Amino acid sequence: MPTNLTPRFRIGHVLFIDVVGYSKLLVNDQTRVVRRLNELVQGTEQVRLASKKNKLLRVATGDGMALVFRDSPESPVRCALELGQALKKETPPIPIRMGIHSGLLNEVMDVNNRMNVTGAGINIAQRIMDCGDAGHILLSKHVAEDLEHDERWRPCLHDLGQCEVKHGLRVELVNLYNSEAGNPQLPEKIRRTRRKRVANSALVLSGAGILGLLVLGTSWFVTAHFQKPNDVQLMSVAASTPTATPVAPTMSTPDLTLANTTLGKSVWPQSLRVASASRAPKLFAGTWRGTVHSVGPQSTWDSQIELTIDQSETHWSNMSSGSVSREGRTLTYKRSYKLGRSTSVQVQAALVVHEDDRTATYTTSQISVTGKSSSKTVGSGTLEKIE
């Protein structure tokens, strides 16, 4: 086999770019959009710098492109933000979505004797991009964790949790945005997944409620029609006293009261409590939006956040892993993890809902410890429930 066809395995930092709704455009519009997108990409500072250093590989994909940077995981992120800012000035707008991932790549020469790329690194970057809508810049959790230790990037990173992509693969996603680029809205694909999860939970709870009603009805029927404790005694009296007037066995009012009380205590709480709880209003569930002011070791900043809590009130959209606990009107999230081999990070967030049930105080705290040195970043703000 010729040596120029031998795969070369490298770690690459991939920015996958795609034009949303490209196939629905007229042919002339498709040509115009792709040409203009190429111009904007080539005009970004990151592409120019990486090209001069011979640290960039460009792969055309028909309705977009893949940019493979070989220098730093920050390069595709900076390029995406530059491109996002430039696209906001375009008239008519060009709907672009982007996905970023760092991983193993195979560099090979294609049939046209041009360098091409295959492998998990570029495939996952494309899957991540597929989860977004127009304007989204989505990162894999792996890339986000590389950026988290830098306080300049931390305000721009917003966890979305898991998303199922092609072949049943689940990827951890992080939404990258600031006031100048990116899309802060929850991607529609993730929104549909969460609605489906909530609907399935409601179906299970409804089934439990119906089962509880069946148990209650069966217990009442058995109690009312078969449990007649005086039947045997009455039959004995009738047999030994021929002249006695037959008396129909009945259940007295105190007996009925006792039977109903016993039935209520033994059946209702266990079978129907779940159905009743499913109809109770949720204090934390829904979407909360507002501005959070953060203070770090060297700077302060404001960031817009959107926090979605599912109906079980155990999952936060911008948090992954960790644990959630509730005490009164306070919902607390905690997570501890390692960055590399030497840095330990502890994250805590709390949502305290006010008496109006529509506004809440949101506080965050992140402590990073490396050896004997540590740094702390805190944030607070007021969020409003929007749905």
pLDDT tens digits in sequence order for the chain, 387 residues long: 444 545 456 788 999 999 999 988 898 899 999 999 999 999 999 999 999 999 999 988 888 999 999 888 899 999 999 999 999 898 888 999 999 999 888 877 776 777 778 888 888 999 999 999 999 999 999 899 889 888 889 889 998 888 888 777 788 899 999 989 999 998 988 888 777 666 655 555 566 666 666 666 666 666 665 555 554 444 444 444 444 444 444 444 444 344 444 444 444 444 444 444 444 568 888 888 888 888 877 677 777 778 888 888 888 775 667 888 999 999 998 888 776 667 788 888 899 999 888 899 999 988 888 777 788 888 899 999 986
88, with CB counted inside 10 A (0-12, 13-18, 19+), is exposed
Residue with tokens 């008496």: 355
Question: Dihedral sign, CA of 61, 65, 66, 71?
Answer: positive
Q: What residues have CB less than 8 Å from 131, skipping those under 6 apart?
A: 99, 138, 163, 165, 171, 173, 187, 189, 190
Is-contact 150 77, C-beta < 8 A? no
Give me 241's structure tokens.
Answer: 């006293």
**3-state secondary structure (DSSP) of residue 340:** coil
For helices 188-225 and 253-266, give the axis angle rounded to 10 degrees. Answer: 150
Residue 154: C-alpha distances to residues 188, 207, 296 (Å): 24, 43, 10
Is-contact 121 105, C-beta < 8 A? yes
Residue with tokens 């529509």: 358
Give me 117's structure tokens.
Answer: 């790329």
Domain ranges of the chain: 3-185, 195-279, 286-385
Give the gyration radius of the chain's Cα atoms: 31
**3-state secondary structure (DSSP) of residue 29:** helix
Q: What integer pLDDT is reported at residue 76 of this predicted model?
A: 95
On the question of a cis peptide bond just before residue 92, with omega within 30 degrees of 0, the verdict is yes
Q: What residues have CB less than 8 Å from 97, skipping those under 6 apart?
A: 17, 18, 20, 129, 132, 133, 134, 135, 136, 137, 138
Q: What is the dihedral of CA 349, 149, 162, 103, to 10 degrees?
A: 180
CATH architecture of 3-185: 2-Layer Sandwich (3.30)
Q: What integer pLDDT is reported at residue 94 of this predicted model?
A: 92
Q: What integer pLDDT is reported at residue 111 of this predicted model?
A: 67
Is-contact 148 345, C-beta < 8 A? yes
DSSP secondary structure, 214-271, as one string: HHHHHHHHHHHHT--TTHHHHHHHHHH-TTSPP------HHHHHHHHHHHHHHTHHHH
- Residue 177 identity: Y
